[in-house]
Structure 1
Amino acid sequence: MTTDVTAAAPYGTPYGTPETPRVAVRGEARLEFDPEIARIGVAVSARGTDRRSALEDLTRRNTAVLDLIKSYGDAVEKLETGAFSISPELTRHGRGERVRAYHGRVHITAELTDFTALGELTTRLADLELTRVDGPWWSLRPDSPAHGEARRQAVKEAVQRAREYAEALGARLAALVELADLGAEHAEPYAVAYSGPMRSAGYGGAAQAEVAPALDLEPQRQTVYAQVNARFTMTPPQL
């Protein structure tokens, strides 16, 4: 039994044949979308002359922060408590050391979808005693339709580019041989657009009587990038 080398060549050799040449292109898409989620980090601190008073103060402030965030209801998509720490502050006393005070800290992360509420919540948190706010960090959801739109646009660009190459030779595309996502071939870390930290902290004694004004935030548009490699066969060129 013999094999038809001419028929098998287009799929067995990487560069095709004169009868069935191949064209390889890369399709790219870089699109911008409005963010869907904003994340802020909140660090609640406390200080006491003994461990119990520091813990009680930290617990009270942590509860106040959580209650404030939860009061925004559906605007808050996720609320998580991260690291907790309480540590002694040592000072020299004669030839030895003794505990001067205890410092406690709790880290909280909140994700919001209502950016108007975000501006108000941010300043209200920063107005609390011994509370630090970092963020916001803007992002899209992992399953956002924006990612699919970018991939579809990259495929369309690959087809258009291949068609233009073929037409420049007086040929036309015949069939798709391969379509490869560059992320599958060369894994790269997922890039998240980052707006830079907005850091504000409240320090001091008694809380102010007036409510802090809401912060006017401009959400940072997110860039979604997609790349594909595509290979096509085409009709013989008119050279």
Structure 2
Amino acid sequence: MTQTPPPHGTPEHPRVAVRGDARLETDPETARITITVTARGKDRRHTLDDLTRRNHHVLELARSYGQAVEKLETGAFSLTPELTQPGRNEKIRAYHGSVRITAVLNDFTALGEFTTRIADLEMTRVNGPWWGLRPDSPAHAEARRLAVHSAVQRAREYAGALDAHLVALVELADLGAENTAPPAPLAPGAPRGRAAFGGAPAEPAPALDLEPQRQTVYAQVNARFIMSPPKL
């Protein structure tokens, strides 16, 4: 009858503990941009009307790209009065309105054109893109698989250095695999294209040529094995 090795180390069945690491580079799957629509005026209602019109234009333009824009979300809205010098006779000088929209695209061919067309709109600012992978991207699973292989290979090398071999796996602890895409919105060097406030030009601007930024995925695991008695 074969005796099962104990889960802890013993002189007859020593335990070897290793860490497996993996680093995988892959193409991005999504590109995220933030769009800030603004309006300014002395009349509150007119400012709100301008903001509503511009916001509607942005949303309709984004929806015209169909499945290329896989997510469209409004993040924040504000309408703030700008006051004159503080005091008893202070008055409202103007109203400032803004709406922030986030768009996630999965078609990088359409991305350059979409970004340029948004930037052409009046009183609209565009930031991004920020490239990324989806949480369920196969790249994460592949990185974890490579990390496990790294751990097994490392343990075999340790055992082989003692003229021993691995007998059993007693523990495999996942330390996580995470995408190192730069966090939004202020990661240095992350945005590959940016357009500032401005009015619409007479002719459509050419589409931006945006080169996707390669993504790096890391994975680490801790593994513990039982090995045969070493030859010391």
TM-score in terms of structure 2 length: 0.91
Residue in structure 1 matching 2:130, options 133, 137, 144:
137
Which sections of structure 1, spanning at least 5 residues, go unmatched? 1-6
Give the conservation status (yes or no) of the 8 Å contact 1:9–1:17.
Answer: no
Helix, strand or coil at the partner of 2:190: coil
| SS of 1:92 mapped into structure 2 | coil
In the TM superposition, 1:31-110 aligns within 5 A as: 31-92=24-85, 96-110=89-103
Q: Distance in 2 between matches of 1:80 and 1:69?
A: 11
The superposition leaves residues 48-86 of structure 1 with CA deviations (integer Å, 9 ceiling, x where unpaired) of: 111100010001111111111111111100011110000
Secondary structure of the structure 2 residue equivalent to 1:202: coil
Identical positions, percent:
72
Q: 1:200 aligns with which of 178, 195, 200?
A: 195
Is 1:159 the counterpart of 2:152? The answer is: yes
Q: Secondary structure at the match of 1:97?
A: coil
**Cα distance in structure 2, aligned partners of 1:167 and 1:94:** 83
* Letter in structure 2 aligned against 1:10: P
Instruction: Give 2:118's aligned amino acid.
Output: L
More helix by share: 1
For the pair 1:179 / 2:172, whether they are aligned, the reply is yes
Asked whether the 8 Å contact 1:119–1:217 carries over to 2, the reply is yes
Matched to 2:83, the amino acid is: L
Q: Distance in 2 between matches of 1:39 and 1:161?
A: 39
SS in 1 for 2:94: strand
Partner of 2:185: none
Contact persistence 2:17–2:155 (CA under 8 A):
yes
Detail structure 1 runs of 4+ shifted over 6 Å in the superposition.
Answer: none
Q: Which amino acid aligns with 2:221?
A: V
Aligned to 1:10: 6
Distance 1:93 1:155 in 2: 65
Specify the alignment match of 1:3 in structure 2: none
| Structure 2 contact 28–131 (Cα < 8 Å) conserved | yes
Change (3 A) 1:191 1:74: closer
Partner-residue secondary structure (3-state), 1:96: coil
User: Is the 1:127–1:201 Cα contact (8 Å) retained in structure 2?
Assistant: no
Q: Which amino acid aligns with 1:133?
A: V
Q: What's the offset of the Cα at 1:93?
A: 8.7
Aligned partners of 1:232 and 1:103: how far apart in 2? 64
Between structure 1 and structure 2, the one with the greater Rg is 1
In structure 1, the residue matched to 2:23 is 30
SS at match of 1:199: strand
Q: CA deviation at 1:92?
A: 3.2
Deviation at 1:202, TM superposition (A): 3.0
Supply the distance in 2 between the matched residues of 1:223 and 1:128 (Cα, whole angstroms).
34
Equivalents in 2 of 1:167, 1:8: separation in Å? 21
Amino acid at match of 1:166: A
Q: Contact 2:179–2:217 (CA<8 Å) still a contact in 1?
A: no
Distance 1:19 1:228 in 2: 26
* Change in 2 beyond 3 A, CA 1:77/1:94: closer
